[in-house]
Amino acid sequence: MAAITTTRFPTSLHSNSKGISKNRATISSTFRIRCSNAQSPVTLTFTNEPQPVFSSVKAFAPATVANLGPGFDFLGCAVDGIGDTVSIRVDPNVHPGEISISEISPNISKLSKNPLWNCAGIAAIEAMKMLGIRSVGLSLSLYKGLPLGSGLGSSAASAAAAAVAVNELFGKRLTVDDLVLASLKSEEKVSGYHADNVAPSIMGGFVLISNYEPLELLRLKFPSEKELFFVLVTPEFEAPTKKMRAALPLEIGMPHHVWNCSQAGALVASVLNGDVVGLGKALSSDKIVEPRRAPLIPGMDAVKKAAIEAGAFGCTISGAGPTAVAITDDEQKGHLIAKQMIQAFHKEGNLKASANVKQLDRVGARLISSDHL
Amino acid sequence: MAAITTTRFPTSLHSNSKGISKNRATISSTFRIRCSNAQSPVTLTFTNEPQPVFSSVKAFAPATVANLGPGFDFLGCAVDGIGDTVSIRVDPNVHPGEISISEISPNISKLSKNPLWNCAGIAAIEAMKMLGIRSVGLSLSLYKGLPLGSGLGSSAASAAAAAVAVNELFGKRLTVDDLVLASLKSEEKVSGYHADNVAPSIMGGFVLISNYEPLELLRLKFPSEKELFFVLVTPEFEAPTKKMRAALPLEIGMPHHVWNCSQAGALVASVLNGDVVGLGKALSSDKIVEPRRAPLIPGMDAVKKAAIEAGAFGCTISGAGPTAVAITDDEQKGHLIAKQMIQAFHKEGNLKASANVKQLDRVGARLISSDHL
């Protein structure tokens, strides 16, 4: 690596340090120059700057269902088997401390290859900043498994996979909170400072965000012996997050506030008790957000009705839509429910739709392969 | 007993039947006349009308803390060792199917001895209606252990004790839901149709009311191995429920709604996980109700501050006040916290106050003595 001489660790690299939890390795503001070999160029290593432990890694982050009805803006959960994948490799052709995006697959014109304007890029840069990476350049490949703007946490999955990949490459020094904060930087640019997708995508299971300043995340453990399936039906329809947010009421009457609060409490209790029927009932009970958003998604009311009639325990809009999410405790039943929901989208909304029947993801974003140095 | 001849079970006795759960013994609308003894007067017994199994019973119902901050109007819990007691006895001098109040102790002028205008009386009458009691007259004695209008569920405890006493006297045919509905009839007249005091007073522990039509009650089990103490500090100050309710906002901005919902979720999770620190934090976090009510209770803000500074995990207004409730996991610490809270009421609110440091009541309203026939 090329010799670098500076006298201070650039403070700009610490721009996000306020929110970083204290229990990760402190990034020192001093550095030392080490001559590793008299013949080789002078190599600079910052005190505590982690070095890559792999030459490349690949990480997967699952899709997520945010809101879950009355859990609007503070609750989400991860869904197994669908998500985004990010590969990151040490790249001597990239300027040390920087990252470049080498590939996005499939090639989606909406997605920028400029890392400052790409969900995965932004989160990766944040993770690098947190780690204090200055002497290694990286290149990133993003494999989109999730459709954009579908309400399945597509941008969050890209960010989560990227943050986790960077962290794995450098020996896992960041905490879960750090990874969520790094990914939040990305969400902030795309859809607002909400962690209800990135937190469950990183942590798996159900996550309640109880505070942002400081970040406080509550894992809600769904009992391991219980079955829970999500029927995710995505119509071919664009429901931009901004438009869906603009549909929300600014003020909420006290009776509806109390109702939704009680249902949020019931939702949390159902998750912790593994009560899928109660979970479905609470999920279906939102009187504030869903009634405003459902009319913007053609056929949604009929889709919900069809899901319940087909035996789903509950149904609502996933995230900001247009995906409809229903829940059940049986995979086969899930497929039957999906069929009815697809038909309802077609019949009442004149929309084609596709379905996924997936289990709860209990793991969250993870390393799926690595190449040693 | 005197002979009674009617041809139909009066429909008025079924006025509350809509809300009664189906799993209790059905009260038949037919009746039969039975001559129990040729020498004695003709005795009427309705089909399925239960007969007393005791000559008298005494039941206790605990105090309750409703709201618990962000659990406003749908969450409450029971507090051990303080509450109201109701004795009920079969009284041949009372007209069959009716109840009379023979004693209220201590003698509180505000409390009517007309059972139609007394919390215990109303709930007892409802329980009798539900059971279809027509051939036995009862008399009731009420021992008030709780101060009125203190925010400790005083009226609810009277109602709960009365409903439970009637049910015990007749062999426990009513379900928990029935008992709550009977007590709700009383609450409706006194302070509004809210079950967040009567449900925990009857059921013990923490109870979430997730629906009223039909009534749905969720027991939130606080782990048995965990310690939880309530520091209840009651100032000599009247905070009428109606006035405290009038102070509430009619509309709530979306950010505050989301915040309180998330805290309600965190509160429920903390209860189920036995996380007393998290419970305290959530309890303290209400941004909607407490900020409007606290200024109406002199010194409340200072009392909350004093509680937290003395080591409480959280503090808020109990019910509609004026009692302040703080929580801790240690009884001794509880007494120290109480001392500081009393001082703060005195210093900042110019109010005398008294304290109770009590554990969670995990049992609810119960029979405490009975005399056999």
Do residue B40 and residue B119 come from a single domain? yes
B86 Cα distance to chain centroid? 13
pLDDT above 90 coverage of chain B, percent: 80
In which element (H, E) is residue B314 found? strand B314-317
End-of-domain residue from the set A189, A220, A251: A220
Mind listing the pLDDT tens digit for each residue in A283-294?
999 999 999 999
| DSSP letter, residue A12 | G
* B window 278-297, beta carbon within 8 A of A: 278, 282, 288
Mind listing the pLDDT tens digit for each residue in B37-93?
334 444 444 468 999 999 999 999 999 999 999 999 999 999 999 999 999 999 999
Least confident among A31-40, A194-203, B117-126 = A31-40
End-of-domain residue from the set A220, A247, A275: A220
Do residue A280 and residue A174 come from a single domain? no
Least confident among A74-88, A337-351, B7-21, B193-207 = B7-21
For residue A146, pLDDT beyond 90: yes
pLDDT of A297: 96
pLDDT of B30: 29
CA distance B316 to B333: 17
Mind listing the pLDDT tens digit for each residue in A342-358?
999 999 999 999 999 99
Residues of A in contact with B267 (CB under 8 A): 265
Query: B226 in helix, strand or coil?
Result: coil
CATH code for the domain in which residue A327 is found: 3.30.70.890
Residues of A in contact with B262 (CB under 8 A): 73-75, 208-210, 264
Give the confidence band of B6 by pLDDT, cuts at 50, 70, 90.
very low
Give domain status of residue B156, yes or no: yes
Nearest CA in chain A to B268: A265
CA distance A145 to A122: 19
Residue where the block lists tokens 């859990």: A71
pLDDT of A44: 46
Give domain status of residue B108, yes or no: yes
Give pTM, 2 decimals. Answer: 0.87
Do residue B60 and residue B155 come from a single domain? yes
pLDDT above 90 coverage of chain A, percent: 80
Query: A168 in helix, strand or coil?
Result: helix
Return the structure tokens found at B109: 């002028």
In which element (H, E) is residue B79 found? strand B75-90
Query: B140 in helix, strand or coil?
Result: strand
Least confident among A157-161, A221-225, B239-243 = B239-243
Return the structure tokens found at B147: 């101060």
Give the confidence band of B232 by pLDDT, cuts at 50, 70, 90.
very high
Do residue B178 and residue B201 come from a single domain? yes
Return the structure tokens found at B43: 């005795």
Cis peptide before B70 (omega within 30 of 0): no
Give the confidence band of B23 by pLDDT, cuts at 50, 70, 90.
very low
Higher-confidence residue: B27 or B122? B122
The boundaries of the domain holding residue A51 are 11-220
Mind listing the pLDDT tens digit for each residue in B154-192?
999 999 999 999 999 999 999 999 999 999 999 999 878
Do residue B102 and residue B236 come from a single domain? no
Distance of residue A282 Cα from the nearest chain B Cα, in angstroms: 9
Give domain status of residue A364, yes or no: no
CATH code for the domain in which residue B51 is found: 3.30.230.10
Do residue A151 and residue A242 come from a single domain? no
Mind listing the pLDDT tens digit for each residue in B101-112?
999 999 888 889
Return the structure tokens found at B32: 């039969």
CA distance B223 to A95: 55
User: Buried b vs exposed e over A79-100: b needs ≥16 C-beta within 10 Å?
Assistant: bbebbbbbbbbbbeebeebbbb
Distance of residue B218 Cα from the nearest chain A Cα, in angstroms: 8
Do residue B289 and residue B200 come from a single domain? no
pLDDT above 70 coverage of chain A, percent: 87
Chain mean pLDDT for chain A:
88
Pick among B68, B206, B244, B254 to test the A interface (most A CBs inside 10 A): B254
Mind listing the pLDDT tens digit for each residue in B311-368?
999 999 999 999 999 999 999 999 999 999 999 999 999 999 999 999 999 999 999 9
Amino acid identity, residue B10? P
Taking an 8 Å cut-off on Cβ atoms, the answer to whether A254 and B250 are in contact is yes
B249 has a chain A CB within 8 A of its CB: yes
CA distance B297 to A67: 36
Nearest CB to B261 within list A254, A264, A273: A264
Give the confidence band of A47 by pLDDT, cuts at 50, 70, 90.
low
End-of-domain residue from the set A201, A220, A239: A220
B369 has a chain A CB within 8 A of its CB: no
Give domain status of residue B250, yes or no: no
With a CB cutoff of 8 Å and minimum separation 6, the contacts of B40 are: none
CA distance A279 to A285: 10
Give domain status of residue A6, yes or no: no
pLDDT of B47: 61
Residues of B in contact with A210 (CB under 8 A): 262-263, 265-266, 282
Return the structure tokens found at B221: 């089990």
Q: Count other C-beta atoms under 10 Å from residue B331's C-beta.
A: 13
Amino acid identity, residue B309? E
Return the structure tokens found at A113: 């290859």
With a CB cutoff of 8 Å and minimum separation 6, the contacts of A291 are: none
| DSSP letter, residue B50 | P
Residue where the block lists tokens 């606290």: B294
Do residue B26 and residue B91 come from a single domain? yes
For residue B18, pLDDT beyond 60: no
Do residue A190 and residue A235 come from a single domain? no
Pick among B74, B259, B268, B293 to test the A interface (most A CBs inside 10 A): B268
Q: How many domains does chain B have?
A: 2
Distance of residue A118 Cα from the nearest chain B Cα, in angstroms: 28
Give domain status of residue B332, yes or no: yes
Least confident among A190-199, B121-130, B141-150 = A190-199
Chain mean pLDDT for chain B:
88
Mind listing the pLDDT tens digit for each residue in A163-217?
999 999 999 999 999 999 999 999 998 878 899 999 999 999 999 999 998 999 9
pLDDT of A315: 98
Query: A143 in helix, strand or coil?
Result: strand
Do residue B194 and residue B241 come from a single domain? no
| DSSP letter, residue B360 | B
Q: Give CA separation, A286 vs A85, A282, B159, B238, B366, in Å.
A: 33, 8, 32, 37, 36
For residue B296, pLDDT beyond 60: yes
Mind listing the pLDDT tens digit for each residue in A206-250?
999 999 989 999 999 999 999 999 999 999 998 777 788 899 999
Taking an 8 Å cut-off on Cβ atoms, the answer to whether A261 and B70 are in contact is yes
Give domain status of residue A1, yes or no: no
Nearest CA in chain B to A263: B210
User: Buried b vs exposed e over A231-259: b needs ≥16 C-beta within 10 Å?
Assistant: bbbbbebebebeebbebeeeebebebbbb
B251 has a chain A CB within 8 A of its CB: yes
Residue where the block lists tokens 């009674």: B4
Nearest CB to B253 within list A72, A250, A258: A250
Residue ranges of the alpha helices (H) in chain A? Answer: 119-131, 154-169, 176-190, 198-203, 241-246, 254-273, 276-283, 290-293, 300-309, 331-349
Average pLDDT over residues A66-74: 97
Do residue B270 and residue B315 come from a single domain? yes
Query: What value, to the nearest 5°, has the Cα angle with vertex A187 and ends A186 and A192?
Result: 135
Q: Count other C-beta atoms under 10 Å from residue A264's C-beta.
A: 33
Nearest CB to A272 within list B73, B251, B272: B272
The answer for A350, left when phi > 0, alpha when psi is -120 to 50, beta otherwise, is left
Give domain status of residue A366, yes or no: no
Beta strands A99-105 and A138-143, pairing class = parallel
A258 has a chain B CB within 8 A of its CB: yes
* Exposure on the CB side of residue A293, measured as CA atoms within 13 A: 29
pLDDT of B244: 85
Amino acid identity, residue B138? L
Do residue A202 and residue A334 come from a single domain? no
Distance of residue A133 Cα from the nearest chain B Cα, in angstroms: 36
Distance of residue B259 Cα from the nearest chain A Cα, in angstroms: 8
